[in-house]
Structure 1
Amino acid sequence: MKKSGCRTMFHMYLIFFLSLLGTLLAAAALICWLITLRKPDGTFVRSDWPVKFSDSFQEQIIFKEDGPGVKQNGLELLRENEIGIQILDSTGFELFHYQKPSQAEQSYSAASLLSISKTGRLKSSSLTAVIKTLSLKDREYSYILFFPVKVSKVTMYLNGEHFTAGKAVILPVTAILFLVLSISGMLYGFRTAEAVKQLTDSIREIAARSYLPVQGKGTFFEIYDSLNQMDQEIRESDRLQAETDRMREEWIANITHDLKTPLSPIKGYAELLLDSGSINQEQCRQYADIILKNSAYMETLINDLKLTYQLTNNMVPMDPREENIVRFLKELVIDLLNSPEYEQRTIRFEAAAETIPYSFDRTLFTRAFQNLILNAFAHGTSDTEAAISVSVPDSTLQITVSDNGKGMTAAETKQIFRRYYRGTSTEQKREGTGLGLAIAKDIVELHGGRISVSSSPGTGTVFTIAFPLH
């Protein structure tokens, strides 16, 4: 969820950033459009080029005896830029012209010159006109330069003196951009608020266990995917919790019965022992043996409960010491086969080496591997055989405990390590606490290992335990 939330936030900021960047780029493009113009030769210059050209062109005007004129360099500049010129006297009468446009007049009134100065163009003409004045020998002259550009597309004065046409374009466009950005932000805000509301409703539905999976789209698609996954995990957790509660209730009922079962013979034979007058020594020994056997069974139940509690709460005292794991397992097998209960059983043993050192808690390993081996006998037939194999592939201590018993179904294999679960693949009475394999798994994991099981009906079961060798 953290990753998804970061991506969603990044997506939202990216949209905002792109919107802002688009607005800035549009504004920059508008400004460039307003303050630049294209010359006849195709090059772009600043929009104040006509004014600056007009100011500097004064140096190209010369006066002779027969009147004013333009230097040869000036004529070449006018010809290259397709610019026309008129030089007027103080009354507005033309004294000289070059490349004069057809719309230009022979003489201008003061009002006409004022109009050209304000508007920057001739009447009924798309040419830009710039008027400049000069003085010579106390006489006033003026000249008009005609540029082949449109005043409506440029502003010749950056100081705002003739910015009327520019304002007529830039202000509406700026207002439109601001309006578009504001409306887009509001729409996106409403959409985001609606999406957040849907997310809030979805979370409430998950809490109420009434959520239906949603195929997320757009900005929040990853959040919806996470919500769908979380809902699925919660439902699976609820199912497992309900199943665990059911199994625990069954286990409590069974364990209560199992505890009461040995109490009955203990109590009965203890009462018989009280009446020692009618019991001979052989009967007394027999009764005592029954009492001890049932007491041991009760002790096993209680010890399993205690160890399960300690493993669950990480309260198991560990005393790991480095020993030869091969020798330890051999001794464990010998002790089991020497027990009267299992002396007719067969346990095969195989090791890749005689000595494999490993650090482990001897008491806990004894409990774990006893549970694994005895599980094969408890859920098999009288001729079921067990086998232990020890090897070291790829710097890993691997121990397998297998049997040729009835095997398990996929459903049983899935639940075999769960607490309170008692296998059903046996015709014998389902004795035990249902904690043996769960305890074995916890002990293996306590030593940094992992355990897995593979089984199928009719082929037996194989437990594979792997410990990293450091």
Structure 2
Amino acid sequence: MANTQNFAGWRRVFYGLRTRIIMWYVLLMTCSTTLTVFAVRQVLSVRLEERSKQILVQEVKEFRQLFEGYREFGCCEVDDLFDDFLSRNIPVDGQFMLSFINGKFYKASPTALPQSLARDKRLLNRWSRLRKPERGEKITPNDNIRYFALPVNIDGQKPGVFIVMHSTESELEKLNEVTVVMVLVTLMVLVVASVVIWAVGGRVLRPLRLLTATAQSISGSNVGERLEVQGSDDIAELTMTFNAMLDRLEAAFTSQRNFINDAGHELRTPITIIRGHLELLGDDPEEQKETLAIVTDELDRMSRLVNDLLLLAKAERPDFLNLETVDVALFTEELLAKAKALGDRYWQIEDQAFCWIVADRQRLTQAMMNLSQNAVQHTKREDAIFLGSTVKNNEVCFWVRDTGEGIAPKEQRRIFERFARVTNSRRRSEGYGLGLAIVRAIVEAHEGRVELESELGKGATFMLILPIQVSSNLK
């Protein structure tokens, strides 16, 4: 068991959300850094090439200007031209100038040539014998030399060759050093940022760990824990949603527990009555007939209870309603005709809505009859019961109003719960306290609501408020 827990712990470390965030961060930073370093190196390489070309063009231009000046003033000695130009120009870093006279090396500035060029005797011999201008590039593993060679041939004198070149070896070394520094700095930043993100990620994801721990600790007898909401971000919203879910679970568990206790209590009474009478059953036919009547009545009550419980269970199913188009005015008149059979009261229609509604006629009739039966049980013969319907704000309202004993304010919310009864009533209801719960289930299945207005001694009004347009999920 301990090994399993250790494995699960290490698995959370390597495959947890925080680890995956770090891994994705490192991957993205590595890719972006690689692309950045490559792009910067390419830009610097291009600028280095342009600078090398500009140096060659500039030196060649200055040499030609000097050469034209020499020819204009009649000073046309090749060695004097080379000496004058080499003495006037100080080469920049990586720049070299060579001169050949009559196929032999004459002078160079600076005197030390690049190693890759000094070892290439064939190239130097070829340069010394050039008769046409030549522009080219010599590429080696560690260097890139660009050159411009100009033959100098004046009035039959000894031919000369002037060569200006630029080596990028030193610049490439600096570029490599800069690249290495960039990579090292980026790695250091990446390591530090990863550590910071790991620590910050732990704090940010702490509510999720608490949420997981709370979810693991929840059971049917322990749903009272709640998470503290901090901030107003997505995790805070998730925490509030989780707390709201726990509230609903707690209410559901409480309702389920009360439902089981109440149902067990309600079923225990008729079972006890039936068992007692059957155990005392004698041989007298008259006594057997009375006992059979009592047992049958108790079984009928149990059957009504089971049917009501099944109805409440079916109310959660999507096929609970059988929708049809209902003429509200005609439906109101039908309700009154059926309600009159429930008791000798003064029955009357207060108002009628002349419209159509999409609803389950049988379920609505059942709900209104439950309200009418409830009104009969809590009124006297001389009291009045009014039924009606009206349209307001794109909703249809059905109501049952009586002039009976009324309901206390503290009871008005509780009576819609299962097995709830009015405690201040002077009359004992014959039902199990499921009637109003069934009414609310039917109305909520129609996406409507039940409202109650009542005062003690002034009667009560139960209103079923339904939308005229039914939503698509009920079709």
Normalised by the shorter chain, which TM-score bucket?
A: 0.5 to 0.7
**Distance change in 2, residues 1:294/1:439 (3 Å):** farther
State the partner residue of 1:136. Answer: 152
Answering whether residue 37 of structure 2 is matched by residue 27 of structure 1, we say: yes
State the partner residue of 2:390. Answer: 391
CA contact (8 A) 2:351 2:388 kept: yes
One of 451, 454, 461 as aligned partner of 1:453 = 451
State the partner residue of 2:254. Answer: 242
Counterpart of 1:468, as a letter, is I
Distance 2:277 2:336 in 1: 31
Counterpart of 1:56, as a letter, is V
* Alignment of structure 1 residues 6-45 onto 2, 5 Å: 19=29, 23=33, 27=37, 30-31=40-41, 34-35=44-45
Q: What SS is found at the alignment partner of 1:303?
A: helix
Deviation of residue 254 (structure 1)? Answer: 3.6
**Distance change in 2, residues 1:212/1:319 (3 Å):** closer
Distance 1:425 1:226 in 2: 44
Answering whether residue 238 of structure 2 is matched by residue 230 of structure 1, we say: no
State the partner residue of 2:464. Answer: 464
Distance 2:171 2:318 in 1: 89
CA contact (8 A) 1:326 1:355 kept: yes
TM-score, with normalisation over the residues of structure 1?
Answer: 0.62
Root mean square deviation, CA, Å: 5.5
Counterpart of 2:53, as a letter, is K
State the partner residue of 1:309. Answer: 310
State the partner residue of 2:347. Answer: 347
Counterpart of 2:245, as a letter, is E
State the partner residue of 2:336. Answer: 333
Equivalent residue pairs, number: 398
* Alignment of structure 1 residues 108-123 onto 2, 5 Å: 113-114=110-111
Per-residue deviation, residues 322-374 of structure 1 (Å, max 9, x unmatched): 665544543443444345xx21x233313435786876454x44432221112
State the partner residue of 2:172. Answer: 163
Distance 1:303 1:406 in 2: 27
Distance 1:216 1:10 in 2: 24
* Alignment of structure 1 residues 350-365 onto 2, 5 Å: 350-352=350-352, 360-362=360-362, 364-365=363-364
Deviation of residue 113 (structure 1)? Answer: 0.6
Deviation of residue 306 (structure 1)? Answer: 1.8
Counterpart of 1:48, as a letter, is E
Counterpart of 1:136, as a letter, is V
Long gaps (5+) in structure 2? 1-17, 71-76, 92-98, 100-105, 116-145, 219-223, 471-475
State the partner residue of 1:56. Answer: 57
Deviation of residue 52 (structure 1)? Answer: 1.1
CA contact (8 A) 2:375 2:404 kept: yes
State the partner residue of 1:204. Answer: 213
**Distance change in 2, residues 1:269/1:393 (3 Å):** farther
Deviation of residue 172 (structure 1)? Answer: 1.2
CA contact (8 A) 1:321 1:361 kept: yes
Distance 2:109 2:395 in 1: 103
Long gaps (5+) in structure 1? 1-7, 37-45, 72-86, 102-107, 119-129, 146-154, 277-286
State the partner residue of 2:427. Answer: 428
Counterpart of 1:309, as a letter, is L
TM-score, with normalisation over the residues of structure 2?
Answer: 0.61
Q: What SS is found at the alignment partner of 1:53?
A: helix
